[in-house]
Amino acid sequence: MINIPYLTALTTLFSYGLLFAFGQLRDLFRKFLEWFSSNKLQGYAPICLGLEDFYTRRLYLRIQDCFGRPIASAPDAWIDVVERYSNDYNKTLKRTTNTTRCLNLGSYNYLGFAAADEYCTPRVIESLNKFSPSTCSARVDGGTTVLHEELEDLVARFVGKPAAVVFGMGYVTNSAILPALIGKGALIVSDSLNHNSIVNGARGSGATVRVFQHNTPSHLEEVLREQIATGQPRTRRPWKKIIVVVEGIYSMEGELCKLPEIIAVCKKYKAYTYLDEAHSIGAVGKTGRGVCELLGVDPADVDIMMGTFTKSFGSCGGYIAGSKELVKYLKYACPAHLYATSMSPPAVQQVISAIKVILGEDGSNRGAQKLARIRENSNFFRSELQKMGFEVLGDNDSPVMPIMLYNPAKIPAFSRECLNQKVAVVTVAFPATPLLLARARICISASHTKEDLIKGLEVISKVGELVGIKYFPVEPEKQQLEGREKLE
């Protein structure tokens, strides 16, 4: 739970209030202007009604340059950020040919497979030559290649499940699997901070959705008890089945799921568990097998294991791992398997090679080194940030660490200032977080060296000082200096 300091909450609300008032004022002027010009709609309803795009027009556009910065290189430890400029007060941004080399603290490149890799890249190019970039066909038709089969076996072996099926996009994996598994008369109990793809999948399934407090097993138990006791609304029939959906690492919070407790509750109440390991697979656990390994949960206790290849494996797509029957059923019923173009073969090869490196099957110990490095880097960076007095969310071992900003003005200030000092950070605002809880998010990679991390920390500390986001009482400077000396 995030406790906003009282004063901060007040100033944040005041800022948003001010922005809203100004926005309204500008809208009023706009209305006057439009009154005089001829009506362009010609009888069509406007694309956005009322306040639907108010946020975009009046709040987001002001700080548009902090988001979607194009890069001209692989999303590795250092990236070339393309410079942009605007001639119309940030309404549109134009690309230039200039780039700035920046330290990348924003990409989900946890294991450092984003850039060309000595083991992966040659194999990927070989697959590209053999299979071309696309099969132009769905998996059930002519879209299954030997690579897809190999990856499915490998993923099943890697996550410790009997079988797996892969899809070409992580988002689609969630949003097309849930409707195939569950429907009317069944219940989805979802964590309140689950990713949008899960929300869309749940909505698309037609099942009833109930939400439990973020990462709170006791509340999950409460919800389950109440729902099983009362049954379906109106008809009062008992639920057909209940699926509890949680994520391994919550990408906006950096928190690890309290999986052992949640599994215990689900087992007690006979609910099925769906674990989305989008950010955790490959990134945490001694051998990179995700939260199950890290928290000591037997994968057999999780009914449906979902994950993506976008993050740790530096590719694209997603998987579902489960029992043989489950996978067979999904291959028969899931629309993403039946209708969507299959995953691009070179991307499949990238995942195969990356998993082999992680497992040490490439004949080196690079995988183990990468895993040790990401853990070390994450824990070092997190503890340093905490020492500096930032409000850092999340758990140890998690490579995602949000730094709370709160005030809307601090979003662009932090982002732009960091970029000026050649550190690319991600700031997250409204559509992805609650309005008041804007934050900067640091994603640590195994490809960061210690020097990179120290540079990052120095810049963040300096900018944090400037912007005023060290919300926790800063420890005496002496200690901080000592800590830094130790590093060097």
Partner 1 sequence: MRRHETWFPLGPWRVPYNFSHDRKKTGENSPRLRDLSNSVTSTPSSATGEFRLAIFRTTRSLQTVLDLMASAVMNMTSSALDWLVVAFDAPFARAVVFGVHVDGHFVVEVLLVAVILFQLFQKSYKPPKRPLTEKEIDELCEEWVPEPLIPPLTKGMDYEPPVLESAAGPHTMLNGKEVVNFASANYLGLVGHEKLIESCTSALEKYGVGSCGPRGFYGTIDSHLDCEARIAKFLGTPDSILYSYGISTIFSAIPAFCKKGDLIIADEGVHWGVQNGLHLSRSTVLYFKHNDMESLQNTLEKVTRQNQRAKKVRRYIVVEAVYQNSGQIAPLDVIIKLKEKYRFRVVLDESNSFGVLGNSGRGLCEYYGVPVEKIDIITAAMGHALATDGGFCTGSIRVVDHQRLSSSGYVFSASLPPYLASAAITAIDMLEENPNLLSKLKENLAILWKGFSDVPGLSIASNPHSPIVFVHLKKSTGSFESDLKLLEEITSRVLKEDSVLLVTSKKSFLDKCRLPAGIRMFVSAAHSESDLLKASEALKRVAASVMSDFI
Tell me which residues in 120-149 interact with partner 1 (CB under 8 A): 120-121, 124-125, 128-137, 139-146, 148-149
Could you give the CA distance from residue 29 to residue 32 in angstroms, rounded to a whole number?
5
- Residue 85 interacting with partner 1 (CB under 8 A): no
Give yes or no for residue 433 binding partner 1 (CB under 8 A). Answer: no
Give how far the C-alpha of residue 202 lies from the chain's centroid of Cα atoms, to the nearest Å.
Answer: 18
Residues 333-362 binding partner 1 (CB under 8 A) are 333-336, 338-341, 344, 346-347, 350
Nearest-approach distance from CB 151 to partner 1, in angstroms: 12
Binding of partner 1 at residue 264 (CB under 8 A)? no
Of 16, 78, 239, 380, the residue at the interface with partner 1 (CB under 8 A) is: 239
Half-sphere exposure of 269 (CA within 13 A, CB side): 26
Using CB under 8 A as the binding rule, the residues of this chain from 462 to 481 that contact partner 1 are none
Cα–Cα distances in angstroms (integers) from residue 324 to residues 153, 162, 246, 394, 466, in the given order: 11, 6, 22, 35, 56
Min separation Cβ 89 and partner 1, Å: 15
Which of 10, 21, 25, 72 binds partner 1 (CB under 8 A)? It is 72
CA-based nearest residue to 265, from 197, 213, 209: 213
454 part of the interface to partner 1, by CB under 8 A: no
Stretch that binds partner 1, among 18-26, 211-219, 222-230, 391-399 (CB under 8 A): 222-230
Q: How far is the CB of 10 from partner 1 (least distance, A)?
A: 28
Residues whose CB falls within 8 Å of the CB of residue 354, separated by 6 or more in sequence, listed in order: 111, 113, 117, 120, 282, 312, 313, 314, 315
* Dihedral sign of CA atoms 88, 93, 97, 98 in order: positive
**DSSP 8-state class, residue 210:** E
Q: How near is the Cβ of 69 to partner 1 at its closest, in Å? A: 6
With binding defined as CB under 8 A, does residue 270 bind partner 1?
Answer: yes
Beta bridge partners of 440: 403, 427
Minimal distance, residue 481 CB to partner 1, in Å: 32
Who's near 307: CB < 8 A, 6+ residues apart?
159, 248, 276, 277, 278, 280, 281, 290, 318, 319, 321
Q: Which of 3, 33, 35, 43 contacts partner 1 by CB under 8 A?
A: 43
Q: d(Cα 195, Cα 238) in Å, to the nearest integer?
A: 28
| 229 counts as binding partner 1 under rule CB under 8 A | yes
In the complex, least distance from residue 342 CB atom to partner 1, rounded to whole angstroms = 9
Q: How far apart are CA 65 and CA 202, in angstroms?
A: 33
Selected range binding partner 1 among 154-162, 224-232, 294-302, 363-371, rule: CB under 8 A: 224-232
Is 269 an interacting residue with respect to partner 1 (CB under 8 A)? yes
Does position 86 interact with partner 1 (CB under 8 A)? The reply is no
Closer residue to partner 1 (CB): 279 or 375: 279
The verdict on 414 binding partner 1 (CB under 8 A) reads: no
Q: Does residue 323 contact residue 365 with C-beta atoms inside 8 Å? A: no
Task: Figure out which of the listed residues 194, 280, 315, 378 binds partner 1, where binding follows CB under 8 A.
Answer: 315
